[in-house]
Amino acid sequence: MSTKKIRLSILDQSPIRKGATAEQAVQETVELAKYTDQLGYTRYWVSEHHNTRTLAGSTPEVLIAHLAGQTQRMRIGSGGIMMPNHSTLKVAENFRMLEALFPGRIDLGMGRAPGTDRITASVLNPSNQFREDDFVEQLTDLNNYFHDTYEPGTIHSRIRAIPQVKTVPDKWLLSSSGQSGLFAAHFGMGFSFAHFINPVGGPLNVKLYRERFMPSDDLAQPQANVAVFVFCSEDEEKIKQHQAVMDHRFLQFEKGGPIIPLSYQDVKDEIYTPADLERIRQNRYRLITGTPLQIKLKLTWLADDYDVDEIMAVTITEDFNDRLASYKLLAQQFEL
C-alpha cells in the first residue's frame, strides 16, 4: 500500500435532508465549509443542479463568493459550472470577479452535462445544441478571456472579460466518462473523475489524461483527483443504515422515479427484485463506507488505483451531525 500523503477535499451538492428546507441545506453548506476549513481540507467545491427537490446547489458562482468569505485557507470552487447552461463571457467575468475578491483561492471546475433534464436545460439556455464542438469552443474562448488574448479576426478581439485581474482561477474539467479527460489534457487543465457517478474505467481515464497532458500557461504538470461518495462512522449500525439509504437513492435515480429525500425508516422494509439487487451490487462501488480504520485502507486503495494524491469526498447523511463527524474522522485518519 502507498505511503504517499493523501489530501482530502469536499464536493458538496447542498443536499436537502428529509424534513429540512433548502435554506437549511444552504446553511449546512456554509457551516460544513467553515468546519472543514479548520480541519485542514484542501478544497471545497459546490455543484450546479436544477429542477430537483433533493439538492439546493443551483448557483455555485454565488455560493463560492460567500463560502470564500467565510473561510481562510481552503480553495473554494465549482464542481462544477455546467458550461452548456452559460455564456462563456459571463462565466469568465464571474470567476474574474471571484479572483479579484479572493486571489489564488478559486477553482473553476467545469462540466459539459447540463446538471438537469433536457427540458430544463433547454429553458436555462434556449440556444444549447448539446454539441461537443460547442464545449471545446467554450474552453478555447474561456482561456482567451482569462488571458486577454483572442483569435485574430474574431468578434472576441473587441471584447474583454472584466474586471481584468492578474490571477487566473485553477481550471478543472469534471468527467464521469473520460472524454473530458482528453479535453483537460489538450487544454492543460486539471482533471477530476466522478467515481461517485461512474465507478468503471476511471483509473484508465486518469492514466490517459496524464499521458496526453500538454502543459499550459496555467498548469505545467497534470493534476488529477477522484470524487467518491464516502461515509465514516464509529457506529457500525449507522454505516449499515447509511448504505441502505444510498442503495435506494441510486435505484430511485436510475428508474426515473420521484427523487425525494429519504430516511432509513422509509427504506428498511423495502423488498428488491433480483434485477434491483444486481444494480445495488454494482452501485455499491460508487460508495465507500466504514469505520475509521476501514475507511483509511479503502480510500488509500482507491487513491493508489487512480494514481492520485487527492480524494474528493461526497457525503450525504440523514443527520447533519453525522456528516460533520464523518469528515472529522476522515481528517483524523489522514492526519490533515
**Overall average pLDDT of the 134-158 stretch:** 91
Reduce the DSSP state of residue 181 to 3 states and report it.
helix
- Band (155; pLDDT cuts 50, 70, 90): confident
- Band (220; pLDDT cuts 50, 70, 90): very high
- Residue 89, pLDDT score: 96
C-alpha closest to that of 325 among 83, 70, 39: 39
- Residue 3, pLDDT score: 65
Alpha-carbon span 121 to 171, nearest angstrom: 23
C-alpha closest to that of 228 among 322, 108, 316, 333: 316
pLDDT of 168-188, one tens digit each? 999 999 999 888 999 999 999
What are the start-end ranges of the H helices in 21-109? 22-39, 60-70, 88-101
What are the start-end ranges of the H helices in the chain? 22-39, 60-70, 88-101, 118-124, 132-147, 179-187, 202-212, 236-255, 264-267, 274-283, 292-306, 320-333
| Cell digits of residue 75 | 480553495
- Band (331; pLDDT cuts 50, 70, 90): very high
Dmax over CA atoms of the chain, in Å, equals 65
- Residue 2, pLDDT score: 59
The number of C-alpha atoms within 13 Å of 268 and in the hemisphere containing its C-beta is 8
| Cell digits of residue 238 | 449507522
**Overall average pLDDT of the 244-260 stretch:** 87
C-alpha closest to that of 229 among 99, 117, 323: 323
Between 132-136, 300-304, 315-319, the lowest mean confidence (pLDDT) is in 132-136
Q: What is the DSSP string of 215-252?
A: --SS-SS--EEEEEEEEE-S-HHHHHHHHHHHHHHHHH
Neighbours of 175 (CB within 10 A): 26
Radius of gyration of the chain, Cα coordinates, nearest whole angstrom:
20
pLDDT of 25-75, one tens digit each? 999 999 999 999 999 999 999 999 999 889 999 999 999 999 999 999 999
pLDDT of 192-211, one tens digit each? 999 999 999 999 999 999 99
Alpha-carbon span 234 to 329, nearest angstrom: 9
pLDDT of 1 > 60? The answer is: no
Q: Are 192 and 224 in contact (CB under 8 A)?
A: yes
Alpha-carbon span 58 to 62, nearest angstrom: 9
Q: What is the chain's mean pLDDT, rounded?
A: 94
C-alpha closest to that of 306 among 222, 247, 187: 222
- Residue 165, pLDDT score: 97
**Overall average pLDDT of the 308-318 stretch:** 97
Name the more confident of 299 and 114.
299
Q: What is the pTM of this model?
A: 0.95
pLDDT of 100-140, one tens digit each? 999 999 999 999 987 778 888 888 888 877 788 899 999 99
The number of C-alpha atoms within 13 Å of 12 and in the hemisphere containing its C-beta is 32
Between 157-161, 224-228, 243-247, 294-298, the lowest mean confidence (pLDDT) is in 157-161
pLDDT of 15 > 80? The answer is: yes
